[in-house]
């Protein structure tokens, strides 16, 4: 049965260095929850604390209402899938999956039923008698997942499970993992540094950096409403323009002056006051390009001229490096560019909808 997982003020030290700093998380029953962040941010340490491989130096870990700090890994009823699959190459697929049940002394007839149930779930039943070392990487990953699922864990822990697969297989396995999670309804905690993996699969994400939780939310929330520069920059791509907030109203609209013109947002969701410095974040795909027939009217916000520096045509999209108002380099992505060809040196008009402009607290790079 799926359980809720809670971390309360959890800290962890290695050799006197604080690797995790007062982590607070609530992961709901049956949730597909991602720990996302750059290498060394503490996400795998966090996963290993939940698994019981490490003990927290401060704070508490709960499964439901049960305090788990002193519960050893083999008594936590978790299943874990590692980057390297960790299968026994001399054993068959069936034997690899059955092993955990044998250790638990499940009767043989029941073991067989449980193994084939989970092999069907991961679409590997026809490979039951094949040795693990005869399988492709994607097949081995499915077997590792089946081995973790067969013991019917309360919590499933996935440590960058797709990192060793090629790009095409990773895409396929993302869909398979979502399907398997939906069928099993097990509380699942998934560690990755791959932003697209997290955005495409997670129900919620905890974005981590330097041992701390930066932001928790749905993929859409974190992408469209980041709380600081790191969150905006780590999830996807964005352009940053420094400026000063000049006004805001009670409806959430706000305006900022920048070196390339005035910008308006329709949703200032952070506590920034007029007169304070801001960082204006604009995603490359939210910038529209059109012909510049006359200088942009500078009394209107979110309009500025750009000169094309370089282009990268990819068929379904085209990437542009541009110089805005002769002062700031920016990236623009145009989807479905069609037959209109724009070349280095072209002067164009750039416009952005207020809903796509995000004002963030000012931070030095």
Name the domain count of the chain. 2
Distance, in Å, from the CA atom of 340 to the CA atom of 350, rounded to the nearest integer, reads 16
222 and 300 assigned to the same domain: no
pLDDT score recorded for residue 298: 66
Please check the confidence at residue 188 and state whether its pLDDT lies above 90: yes
Is a pLDDT exceeding 90 seen at residue 87? no
Question: What is the structure's pLDDT at 165?
Answer: 81
- 221 and 319 belong to one structural domain: no
What local confidence, expressed as pLDDT, does residue 162 receive? 87
pLDDT confidence band for 156 (50 / 70 / 90): very high
Residue 100 carries which DSSP code?
Answer: H
CB 211 within 8 Å of CB 19: yes
Is pLDDT of 269 > 90?
A: yes
* Three-state secondary-structure class, residue 115: helix
**Distances 245 to 202, 262, 268 between C-alpha atoms, Å:** 34, 10, 11
Q: Are 132 and 249 contained in the same domain?
A: no
Q: Are 255 and 300 in contact (CB under 8 A)?
A: no
pLDDT at 220 over 80: yes
Q: Does residue 44 sit in the same domain as residue 172?
A: yes
Query: Residue 85: is its pLDDT beyond 80?
Result: no
Measure the CA angle with vertex 302, ends 296 and 303; round to 5°.
20
* Mean pLDDT, residues 254-283 taken together: 97
**Is pLDDT at 1 greater than 70 in this prediction?**
no
pLDDT tens by residue, 119-133? 999 999 999 999 988
Kindly indicate the confidence band of residue 168, based on its pLDDT and cuts at 50, 70 and 90: confident
The pTM of this model reads: 0.90
Which residues partner with 107 through β-bridges? none
CATH of the domain at 334: 2.40.50.140
pLDDT interval class at 192 (50, 70, 90)? very high
CATH number at residue 120: 3.40.50.300
Please write down the HEC assignment for all residues of 229-297.
Answer: HHHHHHCCCCEEEEEEEEEECCCCCEEEEECCEEEEECCCCCCCCCCCEEEEEECHHHEEEEECCCCCC
Question: Which of the listed residues 229, 260, 277 is the one where a domain comes to its end?
Answer: 229
346-352: average pLDDT: 96
**Predicted pLDDT at 176:** 87
Q: For residue 172, what pLDDT is reported?
A: 86
- Mapped onto helix, strand or coil, the DSSP state of residue 149 is helix
Residue 363 predicted with pLDDT over 90: no
- Give kind and range of the element (H or E) at residue 148: helix 137-150
Domain region containing 134:
5-229
The β-bridge relationship of strands 204-209 and 32-36 is parallel
Q: What percent of the chain has pLDDT over 90?
A: 78
Mark whether 195 and 224 lie in a shared domain.
yes
Q: Is 365 a residue whose pLDDT tops 70?
A: no
Which percentage of the chain shows pLDDT scores above 70? 99
């Amino acid at each position: 049965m799926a359980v809720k997982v809670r971390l309360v003020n959890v800290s962890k030290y290695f050799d006197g260095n604080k690797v995790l700093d007062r982590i607070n998380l609530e992961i709901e029953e049956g949730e597909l929850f991602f720990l996302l962040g750059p290498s060394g941010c503490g996400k795998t340490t966090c996963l290993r604390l939940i698994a019981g491989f490490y003990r927290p130096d401060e704070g508490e870990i709960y499964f439901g209402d049960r305090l788990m700090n002193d519960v050893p890994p083999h008594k936590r009823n978790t299943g874990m899938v590692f980057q390297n699959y960790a299968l026994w190459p001399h054993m068959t697929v069936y034997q690899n999956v059955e092993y955990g049940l044998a250790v638990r002394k499940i009767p043989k007839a029941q073991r067989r039923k449980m193994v084939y149930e989970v092999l069907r779930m991961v679409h590997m039943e026809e490979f039951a008698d094949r040795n693990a070392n005869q399988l492709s990487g994607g097949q081995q990953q499915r077997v590792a997942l089946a081995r973790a699922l067969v013991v019917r864990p309360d919590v499933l822990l996935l440590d960058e499970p797709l990192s060793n697969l090629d790009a095409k297989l990773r895409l396929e396995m993302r869909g398979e993992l979502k399907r398997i999670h939906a069928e099993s309804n097990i509380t699942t905690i998934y560690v990755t540094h791959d932003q697209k993996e997290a955005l495409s699969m997670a129900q919620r994400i905890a974005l981590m950096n330097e041992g701390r939780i930066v932001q928790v939310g749905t993929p859409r929330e974190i992408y469209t409403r980041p709380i600081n520069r790191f969150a905006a920059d780590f999830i996807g791509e964005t352009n940053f323009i420094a400026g000063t907030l000049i006004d805001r109203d009670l409806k959430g609209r706000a305006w900022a002056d920048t070196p390339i013109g005035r910008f308006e947002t329709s949703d200032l969701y952070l506590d920034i006051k007029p007169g304070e410095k801001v960082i204006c974040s604009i995603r490359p795909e939210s910038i529209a390009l059109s012909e510049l027939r006359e200088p942009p009217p500078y009394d209107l916000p979110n309009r500025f001229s750009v000169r094309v520096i370089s282009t990268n045509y990819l068929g379904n999209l085209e990437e542009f490096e541009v110089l805005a108002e002769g002062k700031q380099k920016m990236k623009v992505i145009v989807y479905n560019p069609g037959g209109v060809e724009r070349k280095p040196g072209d002067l164009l008009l750039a416009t952005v909808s207020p809903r796509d402009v995000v004002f963030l607290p000012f931070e030095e790079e």
